[in-house]
Amino acid sequence: MHRSGTSCLTGSLQEAGLYLGDYHTWNPYNLKGNRENQYIVDINDSVLAANGGAWDRPPTGTVRWSEQARLAARELFARYAAQSPFGFKDPRTLLVLDGWRELFPHMQFIGIFRHPVAVAASLHNRSGMPHQQGLELWYEYNRRLLRVHTGRPFPILCFDEAPDDFQEKLYDVLREMGFDATAWQGEFYDEALRSAESGESMEIPWRVRRLHRKLQKLAI
């Protein structure tokens, strides 16, 4: 889900040797950059739009990829074929994931989540999104995260962990995924760049609370 520590996670993976291609290094709401490859984002946006959705309006039902979108993804990955390991981050991917998995079935995943209130508050601060809409959006993204994990488990981190605990667990994940964890210094993580902590008072729908508890139990 957006505003959940995905940029911190991706920047840390990059420190450990993950190649991201062309990626964003700065924006007003993320001073170290969201680490997103705009070509990936454009593909995801095009698939969402073709299915009547957007990043903040997850489509219902089966998401279908056009042949044009498939070709764009293949061409992009071919461009990075000499780079290993190559990876990308875009929360929208959860909404269109079936197409990516069909094209590249051997992809490895790593997930991260954050307290729903913190995410809703951050979305409100960034773009004025109503808190309840932010909570519902958190649910739509993270229920997909849980579904994918149920089908094929992979590491999931909790961004609400204390900094030292988060870094320690991230180190373990990097090592388990085959990265040279000894070369990783953990310098990308910056507590000062966190926004909207989870202590704000907000009514949370029961299904959001239940899903959050499930993710907490799965987190390493």
Write out the residue range of the structural domain in which residue 120 sits. 6-218
- How far apart are alpha carbons 90 and 7 in whole angstroms? 9
Q: How many domains does the chain have?
A: 1
Has residue 68 been placed in a domain?
Answer: yes
Has residue 39 been placed in a domain?
Answer: yes
pLDDT digits (tens, 9 = 90+) for 93-109: 999 999 999 999 999 99
Which residues, including other chains, have CB under 8 Å from residue 112's CB and lie 6 or more apart?
4, 5, 6, 9, 156, 157, 158, 159
Angle at 194 between CA 162 and CA 133, to 5 degrees: 110
- How far apart are alpha carbons 156 and 111 in whole angstroms? 4
Both tokens of residue 76?
């992009």
pLDDT digits (tens, 9 = 90+) for 10-35: 988 988 889 998 876 644 444 455 67
Has residue 71 been placed in a domain?
Answer: yes
Whether residue 1 contacts residue 55, with contact meaning beta carbons closer than 8 Å, is answered with no
Both tokens of residue 156?
């999931």
Has residue 1 been placed in a domain?
Answer: no
| Neighbouring C-alpha atoms within 13 Å toward the C-beta of 102 | 13
Has residue 180 been placed in a domain?
Answer: yes
Has residue 107 been placed in a domain?
Answer: yes
Question: What is the end-to-end Cα distance of the chain in Å, rounded?
Answer: 18
pLDDT digits (tens), the chain, 220 positions: 999 999 889 988 988 889 998 876 644 444 455 678 999 999 999 999 999 999 999 999 999 999 999 999 999 999 998 988 999 999 999 999 999 999 999 999 999 999 999 999 999 998 899 999 999 999 999 999 999 999 999 999 999 999 899 999 999 998 898 887 776 776 666 666 565 554 456 889 999 999 999 999 999 9
